[in-house]
Chains A and B, each alone.
Chain A
């Protein structure tokens, strides 16, 4: 990482700390902010958060690795999360999953080469009456068919 990049990331984290407060209870909102902007929380970012909140970096790492929406490995610019829980499964999740894998040329848990999409499974998204459902970043899509899912993904490019 370049010194310039480090400086700008430090500055950005400093702003998040100012916004949410220099308190342990601000840890999640701060990490969520970094995740949103950078699609992951790098080792350096974790250390910076720890320094500014005056806690041990391992505390930050422990929290990052606990929550499935916080990641310490780089994600794609868009994160697609397909619901794998039972009702979505019953109404065609598998066909949607296969279509997405074919179209993007990656498996679940992977990121496309151009870093545009990371594909993941999620547990129940609370759309059980309208499955199969998926989240694309923070937007939810329901009543998916293979065709409809691909149409949505096309728009991301």
Chain B
């Protein structure tokens, strides 16, 4: 396995030493940590892009005897692997970010929910936490600050994509099936064991470590107005240099394709299986919350690829990974997959395919969690953006 980062940008991979963020946080105090975070305009790096400072302020303001900081390392979105690289190569950023989180919201317990597929990391991460305990970056009275106690444990998932959804993740930690909860109430008020909980992505914590150390305004000078800082992109598929790239928000698809040395590109899937598939005419679009917001999965397809086959692979994925709790997602995904198979065999009517697109729209608004709300995205975008290939030149019939 290779974990070398292909491009180190100016933000996430800027200089950092273990403990920097924790020292700084203690010296400026809780309120200023939250202020710097607000100033940075950091948004959640898992994909949904919720403002991190809002989440933390709500958890900090909640009154409770117990609070939790959870790191969502259930990186299951097809095409995403940046968290693997962060955890293996830069654990100091992630764990320091969690400690700062504990300090800011007043939590004493941190939990990393590591996907079962990443069990091979467990030992090295636990060893790292042990080193932090020795350095008093975890444990009691951290770095001599009276009353600042915080420790981190790692819990493993067991192979369920849906547990990347924060309330399903919490259910799993509580010993239940990973079925998403209704929201509201949100975890910031009623999270793990009914206590206020902040759940953030691995990369979010890594960003926090830099923001606290170097300041919110330092961070927000990178990127664009609404999408500050930089983003880690996990690039895979048809390109000469797949891997993890740190790029400023605002980079266009065309620029990115050039950097990763992709030729003859026909399609780019932005945001993983649950993201959007765009065609050549849209390669001037920008990565960022203004246009293409994403958790960083970029899959490149060249002219030789059959887009119907790609779509089928995605829909099979969702049929398997739907938790089965709510009807639109459980049945809708099966229907969409059947539709793809009909097209494959050439046994379809446009009337029915249009009905399935409407079903997709219904799933978007009626599914309980992000899985069913986003799983129609590839179906709708691939059939729309590649209809020439799929319906008109016969390729789809094969």
Contact = CB atoms under 8 A, between A and B. Distances in A.
Contacts of A69: 116, 158-159
A85 B272 CA distance: 11
Contacts of B81: 126-129
A130 B2 contact: yes
B161 interface: yes
A124 B177 contact: no
Interface hub of A29, A70, A87 (most chain B Cβ within 10 A)? A87
B161 to A, nearest CB: 6
Nearest to B304: A90
Contacts of B258: none
Contacts, number: 125
Interface in A58-103: 62-63, 66-70, 84-87, 89-90
B118 interface: yes
B317 A123 contact: yes
Given A63-B177, A68-B158, A87 B1 contact: no
Contacts of A126: 75-76, 80-81, 83-84, 115, 117-118
B175 interface: yes
Q: Sort chain B's interface into a size bin.
A: 35 or more
A67 B158 contact: yes
B120 A138 contact: yes
Given A68-B159, A85-B317, A138-B120, A90 B238 contact: yes
Nearest to A86: B313
A28 B331 CA distance: 28
A46 to B, nearest CB: 13
A122 B160 CA distance: 10
B187 to A, nearest CB: 15
B1 A127 contact: yes
Contacts of B178: 66-67
B236 A142 contact: no
A140 B389 CA distance: 36
Contacts of A138: 119-120
Nearest to A30: B175
Contacts of A28: 155-156, 158, 172-173, 175
B379 interface: no
B234 interface: yes
A145 interface: no
B118 A129 contact: no
B361 to A, nearest CB: 24
A17 to B, nearest CB: 12
16 contacts: A23-B175, A28-B158, A28-B172, A31-B158, A32-B158, A68-B160, A89-B313, A122-B117, A123-B78, A123-B321, A124-B77, A124-B78, A124-B317, A128-B242, A129-B235, A142-B2
Given A86-B79, A126-B115, 7 more contacts: A70-B158, A86-B299, A90-B305, A123-B161, A124-B77, A129-B236, A130-B1
